[in-house]
Amino acid sequence: TTSLRDLARDLLLLQRLAPDMASVSVFSPNGESALKDEPPGSKDMALNFLSLMRLSLEYTPIITCSSSFGPNGQIEALQAGANLMSVHITPYPFSDKFSMYTSVNRTLTQYNYIQLCSEKVGLKVAEYV
């Protein structure tokens, strides 16, 4: 289980490393991993940590909101300070082959969903050519 001390250390490490990109996820036990019997993580704790990252880092990293937050949780993550959503390009017939996609709270994020979430929080989807 992650403690507040662990999170404080992670935040200090991020300040020291100053990465261009960081990610926050809600822990979801995977039946195929050594951590399969651990309790699920807290969405609220992950959102609070994401907010702390945004407020305490002296630079502006890309902070992703992973699909582990779930559908409404991704909107909350954008509101908390995330500034990137990744799109899942694994074709639907194959996505069930990856055990990480079988979590109850995980969302397979498609482009139209990203547009919808962006509109809900007043952001614009960047277009790259």
Q: What is the pLDDT of residue 81?
A: 94
pLDDT string in tens for the chain (129-residue length):
678 999 999 999 999 999 999 999 898 888 888 988 999 899 999 999 999 999 999 888 999 988 888 878 889 999 999 998 877 667 767 766 666 555 555 566 677 888 888 899 998 888 776
What's the pLDDT score for residue 36?
Answer: 87
Q: What is the pTM of this model?
A: 0.80
DSSP state of 27: -
Contact 57, 15 (CB under 8 A): yes
First to last CA, the chain: 43
**DSSP output for 53-108:** HHHH-SS--EEEE-GGG-HHHHHHHHHHT--B-PPP-S-HHHHTTSGGGG-SS---
